[in-house]
Chain A
């Protein structure tokens, strides 16, 4: 299976820029997607196919990368962005998710 590796946690101050990384154990082309999950809620799609903003998602969120290295950027970070962020690939079977990065605000 394709393993997606994310750093477990980050802490930033409101107004700053944060980059959340996701590294794949093998190439996934551009088929990397990003989700935000708040406690007790279902995940919410933020970015699809590496860099496309999902409908209704603020332009503060952006994505980049291809192959094995991908980044989700939030600029500027707001208090409401406190959540866990997951990457997910759909290029290789089975589809897999990263372990999640918990974003905390200082």
Chain B
């Protein structure tokens, strides 16, 4: 069965960067886009972008250009998202999600809480 296992919670300082991971299993990692989605406390969901691990192609929501960088390691079936120049506005839960279709998010990781605080 498809599983997406994300890395643990992070407490980071303003101005720093953080890299979170999403390890995929149960399917061919290189054949499906991996998406990343942000959820701030009490707020809705924002789509950040996707990476196609098969060739490394990426697409970003313009709002997150320069903030998020998506990469993938085919050897370990792991997708990564690095967030840079962190501010309090980046404090959120971040989910990885795999599509079907390829339009709807059929599989989700459990989420990674990033807290930006000095």
A interface residue numbers (CB < 8 A to B): 31, 33, 35, 41-45, 48-49, 54, 86, 88, 90, 94-100
Closest Cβ–Cβ distance, residue B58 to chain A (whole Å): 13
Asked if A35 and B47 make an inter-chain contact with CB atoms under 8 angstroms apart, the answer reads no
B interface residue numbers (CB < 8 A to A): 43-47, 61-63, 95, 100-101, 103-106, 108-111
Asked if A43 and B108 make an inter-chain contact with CB atoms under 8 angstroms apart, the answer reads yes
Contacts of B47 in A (CB 8 A): 94-97
Contacts of B44 in A (CB 8 A): 86, 97-100
Contacts of A41 in B (CB 8 A): 110
Closest Cβ–Cβ distance, residue B95 to chain A (whole Å): 6
Contacts of B106 in A (CB 8 A): 45, 48, 54
Residue of A nearest to B46 (CB): A97
* Number of A-B residue pairs with CB-CB distance less than 8 Å in the complex they form: 52
Whole-angstrom CA separation of A54 from B108 in the bound complex: 14
Asked if A42 and B95 make an inter-chain contact with CB atoms under 8 angstroms apart, the answer reads yes
Interface centre among B95, B103, B104 (most CB of A within 10 A): B104
Q: Among A42, A48, A96, A100, point to the contact of B104 (Cβ < 8 A).
A: A48
Whole-angstrom CA separation of A45 from B45 in the bound complex: 14
Residue of A nearest to B35 (CB): A95
Whole-angstrom CA separation of A96 from B63 in the bound complex: 12
Asked if A42 and B103 make an inter-chain contact with CB atoms under 8 angstroms apart, the answer reads no
Contacts of A48 in B (CB 8 A): 100-101, 103-104, 106
Residue of B nearest to A96 (CB): B47
Asked if A35 and B105 make an inter-chain contact with CB atoms under 8 angstroms apart, the answer reads yes
Contacts of A100 in B (CB 8 A): 44-45
Contacts of B61 in A (CB 8 A): 94-95
